[in-house]
Amino acid sequence: MSSQIIASHRENAEIYNGDSKICKLKSNELLEKIRMPKGLLPLEELEEVGYNETTGFVWMRQKNSKEHKFKSLGKLAWYDKVITAFVEDQCLKKITGVKSKEMLIWISINEIKIDDLDQKKIAFSALTGLTRKFPVSAFEEEEE
């Protein structure tokens, strides 16, 4: 399904592939452009990053899916091999390929947005209506 969506947005998209370091750099530049914290998508072994500025569609393809623990929050996130979203200033919408562990179950994240009223908070929303807010600072790039 995601490959069909990506194919429909490839025309006129800025696409980087092959070099993992360049793909990581471009994914960080995109997060910076939309004013989101660079540690929000701690993806590794990126194989492709694409961004269609006209439609706001972005995709990131990594070699393997990845589980990541945000240490300052003690929260687990899971990133599929392919992550897609529509981006705008301080917001990722219609996200696919990102889940958060709540209690014992994995919840698909549909939207990530900096809080309009409190710019120091970032909200993660699921299709179920569940929303959690955390400090933006918890998603800055972590030291290895």
The answer to whether residue 93 sits within a structural domain is yes
For residues 43 and 77, give the distance between their C-alpha atoms in angstroms, rounded to a whole number. 11
Ranges 12-16, 57-61, 139-143: which has the least confidence: 139-143
pLDDT at residue 63, rounded to an integer: 94
Ranges 1-15, 26-40, 122-136: which has the least confidence: 1-15
Q: Averaged over 30-37, what is the pLDDT?
A: 95
The answer to whether residue 35 sits within a structural domain is yes
The answer to whether residue 104 sits within a structural domain is yes
- The answer to whether 98 and 80 are in contact (CB under 8 A) is yes
Containing structural domain, residue 104: 2-139
Q: Averaged over 106-130, what is the pLDDT?
A: 93
What's the whole-number average pLDDT of the chain? Answer: 91
Q: If DSSP states are collapsed to H, E and C, what string results for the chain? A: CHHHHHHHHCCCCEEEECCHHHHHHHHHHHHHHCCCCHHHCCCCCEEEEEEECCCCEEEEEECCCEEEEECCCCEEEEEEEEEEEEEECCEEEEEEEEEEEECCEEEEEEEEEECCCCCCEEEEEECCCCEEEEEHHHHCCCCC
pLDDT at residue 141, rounded to an integer: 73
The answer to whether residue 15 sits within a structural domain is yes
This prediction's pTM? 0.90
The answer to whether residue 36 sits within a structural domain is yes
Share of the chain above pLDDT 90, in %: 76
Which residues face 83 on adjacent strands? 60
Checking if the pLDDT of 143 tops 60, the result is no
The answer to whether residue 100 sits within a structural domain is yes
User: Which amino acid, 121?
Assistant: K
Total domain count for the chain?
1
pLDDT at residue 140, rounded to an integer: 87
Q: Averaged over 66-87, what is the pLDDT?
A: 94
Neighbours of 128 (CB within 10 A): 9
Checking if the pLDDT of 142 tops 70, the result is no
pLDDT at residue 41, rounded to an integer: 92
The answer to whether residue 20 sits within a structural domain is yes
The answer to whether residue 10 sits within a structural domain is yes
Checking if the pLDDT of 104 tops 90, the result is no
Residue 1 — very low, low, confident or very high, per pLDDT cuts 50/70/90? low
